[in-house]
Structure 1
Amino acid sequence: MKLTRHLSIAALQEIGKKPVLRAPAPRRQKCGLWAPCPPGNFVYRILSGGGKQRRPKICFEDEEFINEGNYEAESGIIIAIVNYKTGKLISTKFFEMWARDHSGEMMDFIRKAPEGTLLLMATQDDGSTRLKDGAKKLVEELGSKEIKNIKFRSSWVFIAAKGFTLPHNIQKEKINHSDQTKNRYKGWPAEIQIEGCIPRDLI
C-alpha cells in the first residue's frame, strides 16, 4: 500500500508540472532587421559611425557594402551608389571633411551617379567642418531635410533616389548632434541608423 501510495503521489506531482516551452530562436532577417520585408521589396539599413571604434555600416539586400572590416576610420561622409533595378552596388567613396576639403569631389560623385540609382550616405566622426554650402545644397536637392543642420560631429544617415521618388512613409534620414558633456562616447558622436523596405516597382 505504501509503495502504491508513493507512486500515486509522484504521478500526480508529475502531472501538475507545467511543460517548459522554449521559443524557437528568431530567424535572422536581411541586414539584421527585426521583421522581413514583404515580397517585392529591397531591404536597407544605414548605420553611422559612433565614437572612435564604431564605424559606419551600409547594408542593402543583406550585402554589407560598408562595414568595420572594409572601411578605414576617418572623419567625413561615405556614400554608396546602388543600381535600383538590380540592387547591386555600383560604387562607394569616402570624403574626408575634417583634415581636408573634399566637398567638390563629393559633388562630382553625386552628379555622376546614374539616373535610377539609390544613394546611401553616412557620417564617421565629423562630416561637417569642411562641408561646403554647395555640397549641402546638392544633397538637399536629393531630398535631405537635415544636411543644412549638420554640425561638428553630428551623426547623420540618409538615403536618396536619383531620377525617381521614394515612398514618403519610409525612413529616409536621421541626425543626432553630439553633446560634449553628455555623449556616451565623451564628445564623440553616438551612432544612429535608419532601416526599412523599398518597393522594387517605383520606376
Structure 2
Amino acid sequence: MFSAVSIQVNKIHICGGSILNIRWIITIAECVRDRDFEMVMGIQNQQDEKNAFRHKPLEVIIHCNYDQSQATNGIALVRTTNSIKHSWNIRHSNLAVEVPPVGAKIRFTGWGGESKNETFSNKLKILNAKSVSHTNCQGRIDPHNVCAHFPKDMGPCNADIGSGLFHFEDLVAVAGPKLSCGENRSDEFASIPYYYDFIRTTISTCDKF
C-alpha cells in the first residue's frame, strides 16, 4: 500500500496509481489524458499533508492502441519531474510476470468512494478479492485483463480508477474505468503481465534521454 499514488487536480483526488520506480508511476489513460494534475505519495489519508510528497509530471505515455470508446489498452505511464525518494511510507511496486491463479487471494488499494454516491474516501481502502477465470468473469473477456471478484458492497468504485491490484507484493493489474461499486459482480483490470513488455521497454527507452 506504500506504493499507492493519489492523482489530484487542484488538490482533489480523482484517480489512483502505483509507483514503479524512482521516476515512474503507472495508472490509466482516463486519469492523466489532457489534464493538469499532480501525483501525491506517502499518505494513507487524504488530509495528511505532513507526510505528503507531491510530484509534477514530466511526461505522459499512453499505450498506442488506447481506445477510449471501448475502454481498452488504457495503460498510462507517467514520468515525474523529480526523483521519488523511497522511505518508510514510500516504495515501488514489483511488476508481476504472471497472472494470479484462479481462486488466488488478491488485494486492491485505492481511495475510491464506498458507493456510487461518494466521490472518494479520505482513507486508503484495502479490499480483499479472489482471482476469477475469464470464463466465469461477468465482464468483457479479453486477454489483456485480469478478473477479480469482490464481496458484495466492498468493490472498487468512483476514483479507484488507475489504482493497483496486488497478488502478495506484486502489482498484477490496474483498475479501469468500468467498476462495479460493490454490486456483487466481477471487475476487470488491465493486466500487468500482458503489458509487461510495453512497460519495461517504455521506461528503459525513455530513461536514456
Shared fold (TM-score, shorter chain, > 0.5) = no
Query: TM (normalized to structure 2)?
Result: 0.24
More strand by share: 2
| Structure index of larger Rg | 1
Query: TM (normalized to structure 1)?
Result: 0.25
